[in-house]
Amino acid sequence: MKKYSYKKSNELFERAVEVIPNGIYGHFSPAPLVPVSAYPFYIESAEGSHFTDVDGNEFIDYMCGYGPMVAGYKNKTIDKAVFEQYQKVDTVTGAPEVMVDLAEEMVKTISIADWAFFAKNGNDVTSYALMAAREHTQRKKIIRLKGGYHGVHPWTQSPDHPGIIFDDAKNIILGKWNDIDDLKRIIKEHKNEIAGLISTPYHHPIFFDNEMPHEGYWQEVEKICRKEGIVLIIDEVRTGFRIDERGANETFGFKPDLICFSKAMANGYPISALVGTNEIKSSVSKVFYTGSFWFSAVPMVASLETIKYLKANKGVEKMHDYGKKMEKGLVDLANKYGYDLKVSGHPAMPFYRITDDPTTKLHQQWCAECTLRGAYFTSHHNWFVSTAHSEKDLKLTLEIADDAFNALKKNN
Amino acid sequence: MSVEEKIKAGVNLYAVIKNIEQLVVLDPEIKELVKNWKISIEFRVKNGPVASIRFKDGKCEVIKGKFRKVDVVLFFFSEAHLNKMFDGNANPLPLKGFTRLGFLDKEFSKVTDKLEYYLKPTPELLKDENYMRINTIFTLVTAINALPVIMEFDPKAKLTGSHLTDGSLFINVENGPSAFVKTGPNFLEVEEGDSEKATCEMTLRNINIANQFFSGEVDIFSALAKQDIKINGQTYLLDNIGLILDRIPIYVS
Ligand SMILES: Cc1ncc(COP(=O)(O)O)c(C=O)c1O
């Protein structure tokens, strides 16, 4: 199989570092890609489940923009409505009509939602949820769980990181995933001080195997939060509309007070949402929170159409099935070459790891070999599938993976 | 005693003078000078760190703590006192080895002067390839050996230390020096080791890149993307060690 090279990506990067801090910063920084030489940095175009980099290499995209793409790049149904809205108005002196339609659609779709509030990024609404919880309870402390990601605002980061001070974490308590005893201990130590608990619906840290909730875990957490008057906030920025369009809590059988959405809710157009119950609505209303671009109409249209599209096309089911088939195919291939490929998390956003080498060097090599052949796999982060991933993609992915395992065997 | 003084003292004793082990190998003048030395010197801070240095058979060994037998003991009332001595602004109190004081003053000071020369580069000096190589090696040795000190006393690094997991990092400069660091929760130690043994590896493209990296002049994210620095394995370990490395320039100029 032909292997890709990235001359133009690298040339662009040389230019970028001169004028942009880090060249490419944040989660798109090439730094965690190992080896960096196996990955493209700059993208030229995308369609369906594929993207093409600036060197003309085409990839089946298993990161989906790290989550936002869910119904295929340039999805015709969604983009038709989007382009129509573009012709009319985007950001203007006032709110667009579609904002009401979108809020109604979310209330109709998401089981706990009595209302919806819109912003741009996931972190806009995770932070808003914290403020709302504090206002609602008149308490100051927040529990977040170790290894969980909720964005980049100071409260979400560890104070040993640059730019963060210990005071930023003063009212943040780190708990442990799937550990009820730990939660009870924290609550006992901070009786009547805890405003909210924020967590993803299942544990999807980077670098490590993802973990589903233990039987009864969420039911117990919900019970404790109710008893102690703690606002239960679920961060579905990554899982939203991939696991369950009613909210992943329906899959796991519990009811939070607030849910944060972004990424997949508009198939790549920039928007996020906080939804919640009527009990907390007046507290939310009191907190002044806004942004220059939060009323832009185009992403709202995109979101409305994306949600409708996913429901009409059984999106969640489709992604689950594709993820399951891919899992079987890849695990069988690994076995053929004598490797143990472990899959954790949800099939629509699985985390893969070759367990034969705990240092992850083998896994890094395999992901790199796949990427160099056109299946874009990262080794440190869960992958994403979309409704646009097809049987043809699956077949090609397995061929690529086969060749990559072969190369792995030869090189080790 | 302030955190700054504690860290500076630890770095001086456990990281800076560690370089003398290499100095007697790499610098012909110093190699010649120490050829026949047979002496051990202990640096002791009241209620504080202790380090010892021994010259024997043309070799030098620097350790944390004490040798069983020691010829000279230099005592310091505080970390600040020790740091002042390293800055050339104070004298130690000799507790043992009064007859060797002349040696310390005239001979040993040649070694420390040369060490300072290599650790304090100027753009002019760095143009010399050999100087640059030695400066890079010393900067690497200093940085690596400073890590445990920073982790013990700097509040941010202490927190990072609590996030460390069991593993090891091999740092390798192509055609240059290498170092091996073993880690665990709240644990970090410089050891002998190689790439085979390491759970995480970092390779610097050349001595130039290494020099810039260890003097804190390289933006690591860009360097990784440009493949001036390559990493593999448990790279989250390097994220944490990087956070501690970042704290060094705050205390060490
Ligand atoms: C679970 C989770 N929460 C919050 C965020 C932050 O979202 P954003 O980067 O849009 O601010 C992310 C982003 O990756 C996420 O995965």
- In total, chain A counts a number of residues equal to 412
pLDDT band at B253 (very low <50, low <70, confident <90, very high): low
Instruction: Note the pLDDT tens digit of each residue in A280-315.
Output: 999 999 999 999 999 999 999 999 999 999 999 999
Instruction: Note the pLDDT tens digit of each residue in B127-157.
Output: 999 999 999 999 999 999 999 999 999 999 9
Residue B133 shares a structural domain with residue B246: yes
Is A411 near chain B, with CB under 8 Å?
no
Query: What does residue B183 show for φ and ψ, rounded to 5 degrees?
Result: -130, 160
Domain that holds residue B134: 125-250
- Cα distance between residue A186 and residue B233, in whole Å: 34
Q: Show the tokens assigned to A233.
A: 């906030």
CB contact under 8 A, B157 and A14: no
Tell me which of B119, B139, B166 is where a domain ends. B119
Residue B88 shares a structural domain with residue B58: yes
Q: Are strands A231-235 and A258-261 parallel, antiparallel or unpaired?
A: parallel
Instruction: Note the pLDDT tens digit of each residue in A208-255.
Output: 999 999 999 999 999 999 999 999 999 999 999 999 999 999 999 999
Number of domains in chain B: 2
CB contact under 8 A, B235 and A34: yes
In this predicted structure, the answer to whether residue A205 has a pLDDT above a threshold of 80 is yes
- Cα distance between residue A160 and residue A162, in whole Å: 7
Report the pLDDT averaged over residues B103-112.
90
Residue B81 shares a structural domain with residue B104: yes
Residue B176 shares a structural domain with residue B97: no
Which residues are registered as beta bridge partners of A173? A143
Q: Any idea which of A71-85, A215-229, B200-214 has the lowest mean pLDDT?
A: B200-214
Q: Which of B167, B153, B178 has its CA nearest to residue B247?
A: B153
Tell me which of B97, B119, B141 is where a domain ends. B119
- Cα distance between residue A267 and residue A71, in whole Å: 6
How far away is chain A from the Cα of B135, in angstroms, using its nearest Cα? 27
Helix boundaries (H) for B120-205: 123-126, 129-153, 155-163
Is A181 near chain B, with CB under 8 Å?
no
Instruction: Note the pLDDT tens digit of each residue in B192-205.
Output: 888 888 999 999 99
Angle between helices A315-336 and A297-312 (to 10 degrees): 70
Instruction: Note the pLDDT tens digit of each residue in A124-134.
Output: 999 999 999 99
- Cα distance between residue A398 and residue A400, in whole Å: 5
Tell me which of B119, B153, B182 is where a domain ends. B119
pLDDT band at A48 (very low <50, low <70, confident <90, very high): very high
Helix boundaries (H) for A205-296: 217-228, 248-252, 278-286
Which top CATH class is A7-71+314-411?
alpha beta
pLDDT band at B220 (very low <50, low <70, confident <90, very high): confident
Q: Which of A128, A185, A127 has its CA nearest to residue A155?
A: A127
Q: Which of B163, B176, B171 has its CA nearest to residue B191?
A: B171
- Cα distance between residue A281 and residue A104, in whole Å: 15
Question: Which of A66, A125, A238 is the pocket-test mutation for ligand 1 (most atoms within 8 Å of CB)?
Answer: A238
Cis peptide before B92 (omega within 30 of 0): no
Contact A265, A271 (CB under 8 A): yes
- In total, chain B counts a number of residues equal to 253
Is A76-312 in CATH node 3.40.50.300? no
Residue B157 shares a structural domain with residue B211: yes
Closest by Cβ to A29, choosing from B157, B221, B233: B221
In this predicted structure, the answer to whether residue B183 has a pLDDT above a threshold of 70 is yes
| CATH number where B150 lies | 3.30.1050.10
Report the pLDDT averaged over residues A112-139.
98
Strands, E, within chain B: which ranges? 39-45, 50-56, 59-64, 72-76, 93-96, 167-173, 178-184, 187-191, 200-204, 229-233
Report the pLDDT averaged over residues A141-159.
98
